[in-house]
Structure 1
Amino acid sequence: MKIQEIREIIKLVDNSSIDEFSYEADGVKVKLKKNSVSANAAVEAPAQPAPAAQPAPAPVPTPAAKAEELISEETPEIPAVQDENLHKILSPMVGTFYQSPSPDEAAYVQPGSKVSADQVVCIVEAMKLFNEIEAEVDGEIAEILVKDGQLVEYGQPLFLVKTN
């Protein structure tokens, strides 16, 4: 099974109401499960007069607010690029971004590198599996948007490619 096929399955499951999906063929097993963040409902007590000297309790953040806070702390700002010839290479999964096949080897690409559509530009490690990510288009790497070893989210832009 090719990475592009897995990407398509992820997109289909993500855009559907399915919570869990399993597929097995030719010794390959794919299992996808959506994580839904459930917000805790707040229960309000009957209103009672509070003493004037007591400060109001601090609001307790919901799990969704905590997750957004963590994501905003870890994810660097992506510059707004107006060039219409730039293609974003997106992460097909949650995992760890690596620029090279191993720590002692050179990066697959650098800004200014020419790439073809089927050329590997990085690796995203997910659950001890190293998934090669291809450029998807012919062009030149304009910018690398993430750092080596950084955790990336599904759909997060990794590269900007100036298409021919």
Structure 2
Amino acid sequence: MKRENPAKKEISNQNYTESRRTTYCISQRYGSQTFSEILKNIKEALTKRDFNVLLELALDEYLKEDIEDMPPHVILSVCNSGTAAKALAADLQSGVFLPCNITVKEVDQGNIEVSIEDTTVTWASSNTDELGELAKNTTETLKQILSEIDQQRMKL
């Protein structure tokens, strides 16, 4: 369905300091790989850790009629079935937190920013110890992926 939007919006670039101060996600910027290489490396790292990509949304394509000249921006909705099952067993309403999200966006020519959901923040409203521990483990796993993105390019 075609949307009518006579006044397209523009996206302003968020500087890296602002990105790093966002409390509900953890961000890292990369400049040594292309957008598609980083996206591929993230998916491979997720697979190694038994995470599935349940949804891949090219936000730039979805919003092309509403936002002028939006650079590549992909949202990956990811889930580990074992963690999801434990979360639901601990708090049946925790399904609203699932799946976790990772964003990959081009912030300027040649610089890609990857942001992972900080589940220790987004799941904190549950107030159950078990879900708090699952959130901590999930965030740590996703942080490992951030630290490996550039390393996957190296050949030993």
TM-score (ref. length: structure 2)? 0.21
Using CA pairs under 8 Å that are at least 6 residues apart, name the structure with larger relative contact order, 1 or 2: 2
| Structure showing the higher strand proportion among its residues | 1
Larger radius of gyration: 1
